[in-house]
Structure 1
């Protein structure tokens, strides 16, 4: 399956051009198996974990097959949450970059009159939550009698959230000859009943088996960064850790080229690998990396497949991977042959939700780490230089320089001479012109105490929804959620603390009014 390319799947040139701009080199397993089935007109059930590229799997064939002669909405995508609706809408918009398609995300918490005006002006694809879509149907402003496609995304989550009746009402109001696509991580009985009731007899069931996850020998960390600080953050990490052999992953071929060029300008020993490079170039680069004459290799996921090097100490996700399974494949490049390895990920606040999905998928904890300060870098380099000096003093090689040092002793203090030499070494090893001791976003979450717990039948999803409904605080501002029997602890960003204390405190979650305060200690 690795030889399959997007241009083998039957998609039109506008969509292929968009996919190329997005940086994907070849389809994921779900994409390679689902896209041809949908292009042939079959209903399909796609069973795969979150983060395997499902949106492109259904978005690309839908865009490929939209009939411009149909007036009004041609496709509708149902998602369980407003966050996912926005995410799916944005992803389809990227795939539709060169296609003349009008998209509209609809969900609660936004003024419905704007959505109504947009629908009346003409929309091709609507992505939304069941409640808001049903509301628009009942107001007679959303019409589904001519739609070509109906997509149920994360169907099991929608059922868990109690949307089954809404979903059935929406399906009953839609075109009977539509093409129906159902995506779900699991297949509970209710999903099977739903598919039998509303999907065609020749529906294709495509199941992607979850790959084995082995990350036990790898220490995983993430650095929360601002997008504009991504490159400086990487330089700080490299300057403090001084990896002897590291792979740095980018999501796109262009990203690899740009990062390699920028690192090389600053003196780092680095080369790149991606699918557009000739086999000879890639083999030559890999040989140097294996031999140790190349310290850093910047690569895309596809190019890294053939890399089998045992002494890789670090894997760095310069870009967070676009699907979760790629994360496992990436970090598996280190920690081999019973050695320990280190995996770092650079994550913006918007990407934090992906990080939590990776943790859930890998059943592992990715610990937060503060970006190195200039003081940290100096301390690391100082210790490194001192160790090298001590090693040199234990040999006789340095003694031919003693007469030269004696000449300097007549004019300068030898402590000053040694410091000057150390300064020269330090300056040579620091390639980035750091101006601030520390960069990035606030280094820590604030821990809140809430007077609800398991006895109130509260789960993390309800907690996130409560924060969003009462204070407008999104998942990106929420870290760990620890629900105890009678109370809970939640880590939130500093910017969210005042909002939650002012707007959520005293509001009802389930059957209890919640008291919220800043925690006075750890768990």
Structure 2
């Protein structure tokens, strides 16, 4: 129970209001360490309760050491996308609902007048996207001198989206802080190691050990497709299943536009998110999807980052992602909070190499399924035969080499 984590009664009351009954794995690991004032290096994929894992100790710190005078934000939370920033902000408000703590959010795509109004307040917690916050730092409309806690949420995506230099500059500006926390879906790669080395001081590593169990609630399988038209027919069949809320992932904006037209021509209503989309349209599309007005959302990876919608039943990879870790991010949209989910990938022959990488990354083969009337005409392309041949030829040379050695010994 949350009572065992030494949290203020005002915070546990808010958690009860939010329907939280007991802490998740990452919350149990991260919160006690953070409450001790230690820096935290956390591996926590979306859907494991990571937001509360850093918000609760941050809020507890602010309650334990209340400010004496009005001023700038004391806790900064950086997120890679606008949508994620807004979601973290909403959760911050909910967690601090029974306190006097004030929260704010600033992101790109919002009028600077709104930012000015937000930053003019005496803030305790500020959630921001790196680019917009750094603009205000450069314009001297925001000061980092009062920052006491710096939190990086989804640090791996910040790297993917090119925010590394800006985050390092923000970290340098907030050099007087007392604590830093870094949360990332994966701790692999030199970029995360650089972040950890430069931003954190003697961090305690923690991880969401329950993640693999939670992934077990996601049924994953593959439909083999001959070409685009076959793939489209499979998708239409899958989307006509009743009572579902589905995200369909595509690889590019151009692909999204083509698929959107194809589905609309078959009377399948969809909403969509894509890069460089006006913020008001993004918010409207997400609102229609969240409310259930339109149960199908088309999205590219960048546009969908940070989406946290309850009870998504299906994730369909119309196009496989370029890398295996992005696949894990995608399917993590479903099967959350104890619910079951389904992840379906539509795979053409040219996708087999990536599919193999995904299966090795998640340490399990993905089952192949077929739909009567939509069976693939071509057999599955096998990958890796050339490698096996090389190994066979190498081993075949060994006996010959030994034989040559035996002859030389006799001579």
Q: Give the TM-score range, shorter chain.
A: 0.5 to 0.7
**Residue 193 (structure 2) pairs with residue 195 (structure 1):** no
**Residue 271 (structure 2) pairs with residue 452 (structure 1):** no
Q: How does 1:24-63 map to 2 (within 5 A)?
A: 24-63=20-59
Give 3-state SS (helix, strand or coil) of 1:465's partner.
coil
Q: Is the Cα–Cα contact under 8 Å of residues 47 and 184 in structure 1 kept in the other structure?
A: yes
Q: Is the Cα–Cα contact under 8 Å of residues 49 and 210 in structure 1 kept in the other structure?
A: no
> Which residue in the other structure is 2:66 paired with?
68
How far apart, CA to CA, are the structure 1 residues paired with 2:17 and 2:33? 24
Structure 1 residue 328: deviation in Å?
5.1
Quick one: structure 1 residues 27 and 368, their matched pair in 2 at CA, closer, same or farther if it must change by over 3 Å?
farther
Quick one: structure 1 residues 448 and 128, their matched pair in 2 at CA, closer, same or farther if it must change by over 3 Å?
closer
Match for 1:370 among 237, 242, 249? 242
Quick one: structure 1 residues 470 and 483, their matched pair in 2 at CA, closer, same or farther if it must change by over 3 Å?
farther
Q: Is the Cα–Cα contact under 8 Å of residues 453 and 483 in structure 1 kept in the other structure?
A: no
Structure 1 residue 87: deviation in Å?
0.6
> Which residue in the other structure is 2:276 paired with?
466
Count how many residue pairs are aligned between Structure 1 and Structure 2.
Answer: 259
Quick one: structure 1 residues 174 and 484, their matched pair in 2 at CA, closer, same or farther if it must change by over 3 Å?
closer
Structure 1 residue 452: deviation in Å?
3.3
Q: How does 1:137-148 map to 2 (within 5 A)?
A: 137-148=137-148
Q: How does 1:72-471 map to 2 (within 5 A)?
A: 72-187=72-187, 188-201=189-202, 203-209=203-209, 211-212=211-212, 325=214, 369-370=241-242, 452=254, 464-468=274-278
Q: Is the Cα–Cα contact under 8 Å of residues 148 and 175 in structure 1 kept in the other structure?
A: no
Quick one: structure 1 residues 114 and 153, their matched pair in 2 at CA, closer, same or farther if it must change by over 3 Å?
same
Q: Is the Cα–Cα contact under 8 Å of residues 73 and 122 in structure 2 kept in the other structure?
A: yes
In structure 1, stretches of 5+ residues that fail to align are 214-324, 333-364, 372-440, 455-461, 486-521
Give 3-state SS (helix, strand or coil) of 2:181's partner.
strand
Quick one: structure 1 residues 468 and 368, their matched pair in 2 at CA, closer, same or farther if it must change by over 3 Å?
farther
Q: Is the Cα–Cα contact under 8 Å of residues 250 and 317 in structure 2 kept in the other structure?
A: no
Quick one: structure 1 residues 368 and 103, their matched pair in 2 at CA, closer, same or farther if it must change by over 3 Å?
farther
Q: Is the Cα–Cα contact under 8 Å of residues 85 and 128 in structure 2 kept in the other structure?
A: yes
Quick one: structure 1 residues 25 and 111, their matched pair in 2 at CA, closer, same or farther if it must change by over 3 Å?
same
Quick one: structure 1 residues 100 and 150, their matched pair in 2 at CA, closer, same or farther if it must change by over 3 Å?
same
How far apart, CA to CA, are the structure 2 residues paired with 1:196 and 1:447? 34
Deviations 1:33-87 (A, max 9, x none): 1111011000001102111001111101111111322632110000010000001
Q: Is the Cα–Cα contact under 8 Å of residues 85 and 129 in structure 1 kept in the other structure?
A: yes
Deviations 1:197-227 (A, max 9, x none): 12112x10002236546xxxxxxxxxxxxxx
What TM-score results when the alignment is normalised by the length of structure 2? 0.56
Quick one: structure 1 residues 211 and 197, their matched pair in 2 at CA, closer, same or farther if it must change by over 3 Å?
closer
Q: Is the Cα–Cα contact under 8 Å of residues 146 and 175 in structure 1 kept in the other structure?
A: no
Q: Is the Cα–Cα contact under 8 Å of residues 468 and 474 in structure 1 kept in the other structure?
A: no
In structure 2, stretches of 5+ residues that fail to align are 220-236, 257-271, 290-295, 299-315, 322-373, 375-411
**Residue 4 (structure 2) pairs with residue 8 (structure 1):** yes
**Residue 350 (structure 2) pairs with residue 478 (structure 1):** no
> Which residue in the other structure is 2:349 paired with?
none
How far apart, CA to CA, are the structure 1 residues paired with 2:240 and 2:138? 46
What TM-score results when the alignment is normalised by the length of structure 1? 0.45
Deviations 1:170-192 (A, max 9, x none): 11111434200000011121111
How far apart, CA to CA, are the structure 2 residues paired with 1:124 and 1:154? 21
Greater Rg over alpha carbons, structure = 1
Q: Is the Cα–Cα contact under 8 Å of residues 26 and 209 in structure 2 kept in the other structure?
A: no
> Which residue in the other structure is 1:280 paired with?
none
Deviations 1:399-453 (A, max 9, x none): xxxxxxxxxxxxxxxxxxxxxxxxxxxxxxxxxxxxxxxxxx9x99999998835
Q: Is the Cα–Cα contact under 8 Å of residues 273 and 297 in structure 2 kept in the other structure?
A: no
Greater relative contact order (CA < 8 Å, ≥ 6 in sequence): 2
RMSD between aligned alpha carbons?
3.6
How far apart, CA to CA, are the structure 2 residues paired with 1:205 and 1:136? 32
How far apart, CA to CA, are the structure 2 residues paired with 1:367 and 1:163? 36
Match for 2:18 among 15, 22, 25? 22
Deviations 1:131-181 (A, max 9, x none): 111111112121111211100000000100000011011111114342000
